[in-house]
Structure 1
């Protein structure tokens, strides 16, 4: 019988280190928040691009979940342009 390892998130299963998994989780959360704002306001990709200070193809990449194309820094800047704010909290983690 083989034992199955359980993960807290898909990123924990996919990434090599806890740090890489945390980075991906953060980027995914920020991308979702931006995409939800775009949808909630009914913006076209061109309108969203203008508001976010990026090109329409960048908005397309964001809406299609191309997470590898966005840094945390870029996403924080886009959130601010969208009128959103990022709050960071730090918690005890499991030992690596």
Structure 2
């Protein structure tokens, strides 16, 4: 008889990584997959992709081989930007009451609101 255990929703956490590391790996995986799909949709060789992104052939090979340890979230977001793909990060908390009681949460929300306002203002100026 097979024993089936329901996963947590994050395969990396299920494999024993700490919740923090699992979240980072999951995010980088999603970003890498989007880049790989973009490159494959163009029917590009690794050489062509390296030229397009202004990156080395070895880095593109690492990307296409899913060598996640070679890329940070920031580097992947930069490559997505070059490809014309916007990356959005949504933050969820398991316990919003607990999160809102921490000063860091309040500071983060204020910073987000400022950035969002500036972004909205810039878009409005472009529309006019």
Query: Secondary structure of the equivalent of 2:91?
Result: coil
- Segments of 5+ residues of structure 1 without an aligned counterpart are none
Distance 2:38 2:94 in 1: 30
Distance 1:93 1:67 in 2: 27
Corresponding residue for 2:82?
81
Corresponding residue for 1:19?
20
Deviation at 1:15, TM superposition (A): 4.6
- Cα deviations by residue, 1:25-62 (Å, 9 ceiling, x for unpaired): 00000000000000001111111111112111111111
Distance 1:65 1:83 in 2: 21
Q: TM-score, normalised by structure 2?
A: 0.65
RMSD: 1.9
Distance 1:15 1:52 in 2: 34
Corresponding residue for 2:70?
69
- Segments of 5+ residues of structure 2 without an aligned counterpart are 96-128
Corresponding residue for 2:47?
46
**Larger helix proportion of the pair:** 2
Query: Highest CA radius of gyration, 1 or 2?
Result: 2
